[in-house]
Amino acid sequence: MQPEPLPDSLFDAPPLAEQERMVEAILFAVPEPMNEAAISNRLPMGCDAKAALEVLRGRYQGRGVQLVKVGEAWAFRTAPDLGFLLSRETVETRKLSRAAIETLAIIAYHQPVTRAEIEEIRGVSVSRGTVDQLIELDWVKLGRRKMTPGRPVTLVVTPHFLDHFGLESARDLPGIKELREAGLLDNRPMPGSLDEPVEEGDDEDQDEMFDWKEG
Amino acid sequence: MQPEPLPDSLFDAPPLAEQERMVEAILFAVPEPMNEAAISNRLPMGCDAKAALEVLRGRYQGRGVQLVKVGEAWAFRTAPDLGFLLSRETVETRKLSRAAIETLAIIAYHQPVTRAEIEEIRGVSVSRGTVDQLIELDWVKLGRRKMTPGRPVTLVVTPHFLDHFGLESARDLPGIKELREAGLLDNRPMPGSLDEPVEEGDDEDQDEMFDWKEG
Amino acid sequence: MPDDIFDISDLDLPETGNEPLLVDVDGYEGPLDLLLTLSRNQKVDLRKISILALAEQYLAFVDAAKQLRIELAADYLVMAAWLAFLKSRLLLPVDADDDGPSGEELAAHLAFQLERLEAMRRSAARLMARDQLGRDFFVRGQGEAEERRRMVTYTASLLDLLQAYARIKTREDFEPLHLQRSAIYTMEQALERLRGLIGHAVDWNDLEVFLPEGWLVDPGKRRSALASTFAATLELVKLGQVQIRQAEIFAPILLRRVDAA
């Protein structure tokens, strides 16, 4: 491009320390890891990108940011042990799904209870995800296996569950009768159905369940 | 919350050198300047962000990448003398009109300043497009209303303005001290006009703005 | 006017003094800009400028424009009127009764305005000459997008829990027919199940252990399953395949397969 010979000084490479600064700035600013040839292209003529990179890598050794080689290219990366500082946890609270809360209620009232029993009570199958979710929330845990054929695992509520719902024990959960008295049970009877006897039965059921639970 | 004394180790901050690494990693990862409080939030309990920042700033002194203070926030930026290596990274910005540049300077040096004051200084009306353009660049934003009749809105420069022009604060604007001493930043009323009492208030307001901005 | 000029020394200024003025208002950003340009022609420190001379120059400019039938914007004319007033104040002897500002005060203010405008222009030029982000210095190119882990946690109140249970129970109330129809566990079913399981009963096992899944919770179903399973057990005892025992009344009924003895 330039036919005239340029003064020598233009070809004098800057000192290695300056080359190191240059490589540092380049690798900091470029949007992608850059290989040695590309770095060389950016540097003034006569620079030794390889040597500068090595010095620079040494300088960042043990720092919070490190100069790493990604394939043939170089890039600054956060030191692996500090990655935790860069993840920002945003905690979002959502209401438990209907399936999950019903499953939880059944476990609380009927513990220890197997999945099959939960399904029997809910009348629909219980997805694995639902139980996993309750376990993850530390509201439910696996209890002892039932001494029935197949030895199915049981589910029980955790101390954390009691803590969260402000209960001393699962026995403190109100019975059906109390729920009805508290207006939590839909009181509309089915046309022609005998409401009262059914209710008695339910209450008995509950007592029985607790006995069974402890047997 | 927790009455029992926790083991000391939980509150033992990491050594300062480690805190420095952490701050380094955090500031390398984020492109926007981050203020001390936000950095502190990321660090483990008991860390001294301020001290770590100062050590870190010293470490990067003279390097190809530098730790700079932008308003109350900190960021890594390449050293300005190496910009020539990074011409390919240059962000093309729309050329600003002379009117826009002058308006920007007036806002920066006189902030908080009303549109009427800008017009008085420039001797022409300020077109809406000019201010819009500066706001769009995120160099200027609306400040508090002035406590003068009509309560006009004021314009102030943004942290991004400081970042863009490599200023630690608006006090570091070139020549601002001399201009102030020469009385050229005074809002001197036209003799015979009835503005006089308001002027005092304006000056106070201005100081207050600076304090507030940096507080 | 080119956009990139912010040093006013770059401007093509009309020449000084008595030379004919180049009447072209397009080059000026308002009357103050015109005045500043004219004042620079005095080639002295703005603080030492002759405001009177400046006012005369400006008025000459406006007159020239009028003769050329160039329409001047209103603010140029307002400035011209003000400068004519200033000129008269500066030239006429001070009227003792006049409590308005003196010509000197007004002239000083105009000088201040000009000086301030020029100072701002110089400052603007210095500001734009600074190193700029994205031109002279740069941000990290590879933002390590901070990992935003969105932790979702779920919550429920005791009321939710109770309502859920109540809902289930209510559902049962509303399905009496369905429950009744399936509430009978036949002895045939029990026998078949027991035959399959008894082989594993090497040791004594509680009868309840053999109750089928799905028949344990609902009291009616449970009763039915228990009765049928017990009856099936007796059938197997009769066939000599099962031993059965009970320690006392209401004690658990235990059973095991016969050949395990």
Are A104 and A116 a contacting pair, CB within 8 Å? no
Contact A32 C141 (CB under 8 A): yes
> pLDDT (tens digit, 9 = 90+) per residue, A135-167?
988 899 998 888 877 788 899 998 888 888 877
Whether the link from the prior residue into A112 is cis, omega within 30° of 0, is yes
C147 at the A interface (CB within 8 A)? yes
Euclidean distance between CA atoms C75 and C100, whole angstroms? 23
The least confident of A123-132, B173-182, B190-199, C1-10 is: C1-10
Residues with Cβ within 8 Å of A15's Cβ and at least 6 positions away in sequence, in order, are none
Query: What integer pLDDT is reported at residue C12 of this predicted model?
Result: 39
List for chain A the helix, strand, coil content (%; round to 5): 50, 15, 35
DSSP string computed for chain C: --TT---GGGS-PPP-TTSPP---GGG-SSHHHHHHHHHHTT-S-GGG--HHHHHHHHHHHHHHHHHTTPPPPHHHHHHHHHHHHHHHHHHSPPPTT--S--HHHHHHHHHHHHHHHHHHHHHHHHHHHS--BTTTB---SS-----EEEEEEEE--HHHHHHHHHHHHHHHHT-HHHHHHT----HHHHHHHHHHHHTT--S-EEGGGGSPTTSSSSHHHHHHHHHHHHHHHHHHHHTTSEEEEESSTTSPEEEEEGGG-
Chain A residues 39-78 with a CB less than 8 Å from chain B: 42-43, 62-65, 76, 78
CA separation, residue B137 to residues A192, B78, B127 (Å): 74, 21, 16
Rounded to a whole number of angstroms, the CA Rg of chain C reads 53
The alpha carbon of residue A142 is apart from the nearest alpha carbon of chain C, in Å, by 18
Q: Is the pLDDT of residue B104 over 90?
A: yes
Q: Which amino acid is at A154?
A: T
User: Which of C131, C142, C211 is the best mutation test for A, with the most CBs of A within 10 A?
Assistant: C142
Chain C residues 32-51 with a CB less than 8 Å from chain B: 32-33, 35
> pLDDT (tens digit, 9 = 90+) per residue, C152-172?
777 788 778 888 887 787 765
Q: How many CB pairs under 8 A join A and B?
A: 66
Which has the higher per-residue pLDDT, B176 or C44? Answer: B176
Place of tokens 């859920």: C164
Angle CA A148–A154–A158, to nearest 5 = 155
> pLDDT (tens digit, 9 = 90+) per residue, A80-98?
888 888 776 666 778 888 8
The alpha carbon of residue B92 is apart from the nearest alpha carbon of chain A, in Å, by 15
B106 at the C interface (CB within 8 A)? yes
User: Which of A27, A42, A85 is the best mutation test for B, with the most CBs of B within 10 A?
Assistant: A85
Are C244 and C237 a contacting pair, CB within 8 Å? yes
What percent of chain A lies above the pLDDT cut of 90? Answer: 29
C chain contacts of residue B111, beta-carbon cutoff 8 Å: none
The alpha carbon of residue B76 is apart from the nearest alpha carbon of chain A, in Å, by 9
Contact B105 C134 (CB under 8 A): no
A129 at the C interface (CB within 8 A)? no
What would the mean pLDDT of A172-193 be, rounded to a whole number? Answer: 60
Query: What integer pLDDT is reported at residue A78 of this predicted model?
Result: 87
Chain B residues 137-166 with a CB less than 8 Å from chain C: 163-166
Nearest to A106 among C157, C168, C197 (CB): C168
Contact B83 C32 (CB under 8 A): no
Nearest to B78 among A29, A42, A63 (CB): A29
Instruction: Tell me the two tokens of residue B134.
Output: 């500066």
Q: How many CB pairs under 8 A join A and C?
A: 168
The alpha carbon of residue C202 is apart from the nearest alpha carbon of chain B, in Å, by 53
A chain contacts of residue B23, beta-carbon cutoff 8 Å: 64
Nearest to C134 among B93, B104, B120 (CB): B93
Are C121 and B102 a contacting pair, CB within 8 Å? yes
What would the mean pLDDT of B116-126 be, rounded to a whole number? Answer: 90
- Nearest C-alpha in C relative to A122: C168
B26 at the A interface (CB within 8 A)? yes
Euclidean distance between CA atoms A155 and A106, whole angstroms? 10
Touching subunits for chain A (3+ Cβ pairs under 8 A)? B, C
The alpha carbon of residue B132 is apart from the nearest alpha carbon of chain A, in Å, by 30
ipTM > 0.85, yes or no: no
Are A164 and C159 a contacting pair, CB within 8 Å? no
C6 — pLDDT class (breaks 50, 70, 90): very low
Touching subunits for chain C (3+ Cβ pairs under 8 A)? A, B
Euclidean distance between CA atoms C143 and B16, whole angstroms? 25
Which has the higher per-residue pLDDT, C261 or B56? Answer: B56
Nearest to B82 among A22, A76, A85 (CB): A22
Query: What integer pLDDT is reported at residue A185 of this predicted model?
Result: 57
> pLDDT (tens digit, 9 = 90+) per residue, A21-58?
999 999 999 888 899 999 999 999 889 999 999 999 99
> pLDDT (tens digit, 9 = 90+) per residue, B127-184?
888 898 899 889 999 988 888 888 888 999 999 899 999 999 999 999 999 999 999 9
Residues with Cβ within 8 Å of C193's Cβ and at least 6 positions away in sequence, in order, are C210, C212, C229, C232
B20 — pLDDT class (breaks 50, 70, 90): very high
Q: Which of C28, C224, C216 is nearest to C117 (CA)?
A: C28
Euclidean distance between CA atoms C255 and C261, whole angstroms? 11
Q: Is the pLDDT of residue A212 over 50?
A: no
Query: What integer pLDDT is reported at residue A209 of this predicted model?
Result: 33
Contact C32 B124 (CB under 8 A): yes
B chain contacts of residue C131, beta-carbon cutoff 8 Å: 80, 83, 165-166
Could you tell me how far CA A95 lies from the centroid of its own chain?
A: 17
C252 at the B interface (CB within 8 A)? no
Count of all residues that appear for chain A in the document: 215
Nearest to B188 among C102, C109, C123 (CB): C109
